[in-house]
Structure 1
Amino acid sequence: MLSKPKYLSTVKAIIHIIIGSTVFAVGVQGFIVPHKLLSGGISGLSLIIYYVTQGILSLGSINFLLNIPVLYAAWRWLGRWHLGITILGTIIMSILINLLSPLEALELTKNPIIGGILGGLFSGLGLGIVYRGGGNTGGMDPIAMIIRNRFGLQIGSILFGINMMILIVGAIVINIEAAATTLISTYLAAMVTNKVITGFNQRKAMFIISYKPVTICNLIIDKIGRGATILNGEGAYTHQPKQVIMVVVSLLQVARLKAAVEAEDPTAFMVITDAAEVIGTGFSARSTNGAVERVLQTCDPVKAAEAEQMIHEVQMARNEIPSQEHKEEQ
């Protein structure tokens, strides 16, 4: 019996698999197959076999058969839930590829390069939708997820590396023109996949050097709804102590934070860089009460007393708790 969060995750994954697999199948049957181009992963190997055998078996059936050995990897390293999603994704993808096979006869594009470009865009978009929902469609997806979990690489980049090896085989078995055009398609698919996965959830790390660190931190917490960390630094030329504010924000929050910091301190120095992955609890709450509890739970008794005093001072500065003078006035 699945728990409610797991149940919702499963439903979400299934919906994304259906939508993403449909988009992917349109790309393969509508643009890749008509020009006898290749694709990446297991679908690429399926296309090679499909072309060599001249369609004795349907493309979807070949795709399903080649996915069988991959299921062990999904079970061994990703767990039973991912195994179930992999099996479901493989079946849905194979069925949709067969159902959309009539697109091949429509000749949507006459130019193989245009076909490769559109095929890559559709394929990348479809796979990105699947991954964004936490699903996969079998093939090299479980292998890519295992590599990502172990080494932290982006899925699109992992698949691109695997696909290069498949293209070499395709160039030998089919022809080098098809492999060269597929190279463009595969590159586009990898880029689109990464973009769809990150989307507007891409994180940016900002380092801010200002003479008003406390004011900037309060601004970040109150106006942006994010936490921040103050790092102690030293100017290389002046050797004067400086405080560097580090904050991680979403892509949509970058412009807001830049404008707010510039309005507060026009002389502030800011460095903005991509954050490949952010792990840990976000600081979205406006109050620091939750932060107090988390710090005290993770600190030893000596550090806990120091941390409690520091957070108490921050709360007083932000007027979350009344100061002693304010209490006396009351």
Structure 2
Amino acid sequence: MVKRLLKIQDANWVKRVTLWRHVKDALFIMIGVVMASIGLKAFLLPNGFFDGGAMGMSLLLELLTPVNLSVLIILVNLPFILLGARQVSVIFAVKSTLAIFGLALLVHFIELPTITADKLLIAVFGGFFLGSGIGFAIRGGAVIDGTEVLAISVSRRSSLTVGDFITVFNVCLFIVAAFFVNLETAMYSMLTYFSASKTVDFIINGVEEYLGVMIMSQYSEEIKSMISHDLGRGVTVLKSDGGYGANAKLLPDRKVLFCVITRLEVTKMLSEIDKLDPKAFVIQYPIKDTKGGMIKKRPLH
């Protein structure tokens, strides 16, 4: 369909973009598999710690059963992969299958020295490496921990959100761990989970979170010029109709400015807006990601 809509000379461009996207996905997935295997082999496995989610379930079963962890990683994630094929796409399921098999092979065959015996360092840095692996795999369009796929499916059939389900799932997992293993290991493993989850957020969203900003002011032209020329950011002008107060009658056709900036830039923008119109009405809200436009791009994007 895309090729029919584009001119013939643009077909090669489409192929190059598609190829580069596949190369980036493969690179991210490979980095994710390596990072996760380092977290498992150098930190968590030698000390009997585990994480949350499907990976945490695999690690817990490895402690309670004689089954090899490599086999458990595949078996535990297999239902999530099949669910992902139905809920997301077949390509997603194929990528996830390759990533999980790659992780299982590395966990089975590589040997890494134990870096530290300090339990706090093990929990924090084990979670960091494992979370980095999960985050990079998601960047590549795959998962090595399929809990979120199940959470999405449950959220569509119940009042639970994705975050609610993951929280409930992990609370139950840590309660089982405290009962069958010991309370201290479960508590340190909770630190591992928190470290991993924060690392995943950082890898996916980056340090510079995007904010959508909407500005309503009678000096919209001056503010638009400031954003475009002084801040060097793109701005979109939306036509609006006032609905309340005296200004709604005086200015029935007003302009609303919309732009996307990083959180690190918002203070400067608000300061510049105050200089032009202290009474301007400004709305801010988080944006997960953007593509194109005059946006300062984050690393790894």
Deviations 1:260-307 (A, max 9, x none): 5355x163546463424468x86559xxxxxxxxxxxxxxxxxxxxxx
The match for 2:125 among 112, 118, 121 is: 118
Q: Does 1:19 align with 2:19?
A: no
CA contact (8 A) 2:217 2:277 kept: no
> What is the DSSP-based 3-state SS (H/G/I as helix, E as strand, rest coil) of the residue aligned with 1:204?
strand
1:108 counterpart residue number: 115
Q: CA distance change for structure 1 residues 270 and 94 in 2, over 3 Å: closer, same or farther?
A: farther
Q: Does 1:92 align with 2:99?
A: no
By how many angstroms is 1:73 displaced?
A: 0.5
Deviates more, 1:209-218 or 1:22-31: 209-218
2:258 counterpart residue number: 247
The match for 2:236 among 222, 227, 230 is: 227
1:44 counterpart residue number: 56
Q: Does 1:137 align with 2:126?
A: no
Report how many aligned residue pairs link the two structures: 273
TM-score normalised over the length of structure 1 = 0.69
Q: Does 1:166 align with 2:173?
A: yes
> What is the DSSP-based 3-state SS (H/G/I as helix, E as strand, rest coil) of the residue aligned with 1:216?
helix
Q: CA distance change for structure 1 residues 20 and 268 in 2, over 3 Å: closer, same or farther?
A: farther
Q: Does 1:183 align with 2:190?
A: yes
CA contact (8 A) 2:205 2:289 kept: no
By how many angstroms is 1:96 displaced?
A: 2.2
The unaligned stretches of length 5 or more in structure 1 are 286-330
Question: RMSD between aligned alpha carbons?
Answer: 3.5
CA contact (8 A) 1:201 1:250 kept: no
By how many angstroms is 1:230 displaced?
A: 5.2
Q: CA distance change for structure 1 residues 211 and 68 in 2, over 3 Å: closer, same or farther?
A: closer
1:30 counterpart residue number: 42
1:267 counterpart residue number: 278
Structure index of larger Rg:
1
CA contact (8 A) 2:131 2:197 kept: yes
CA contact (8 A) 1:221 1:228 kept: no
Cα distance in 1 for residues equivalent to 2:280 and 2:268: 16
Aligned-pair identity in percent equals 22
The unaligned stretches of length 5 or more in structure 2 are 1-13, 296-301
Cα distance in 1 for residues equivalent to 2:157 and 2:257: 27
Deviations 1:73-124 (A, max 9, x none): 1221222111111111111121222244x33xx3322222221112222222
Q: CA distance change for structure 1 residues 257 and 107 in 2, over 3 Å: closer, same or farther?
A: same
CA contact (8 A) 2:71 2:104 kept: yes
By how many angstroms is 1:157 displaced?
A: 7.4
**Which residue identity lines up with residue 29 of structure 1 in the other structure?**
K
Cα distance in 1 for residues equivalent to 2:215 and 2:172: 44
Q: Does 1:214 align with 2:221?
A: yes
CA contact (8 A) 1:207 1:272 kept: yes
> What is the DSSP-based 3-state SS (H/G/I as helix, E as strand, rest coil) of the residue aligned with 1:224?
coil
By how many angstroms is 1:46 displaced?
A: 1.5
TM-score normalised over the length of structure 2 = 0.75
**Which residue identity lines up with residue 90 of structure 1 in the other structure?**
I
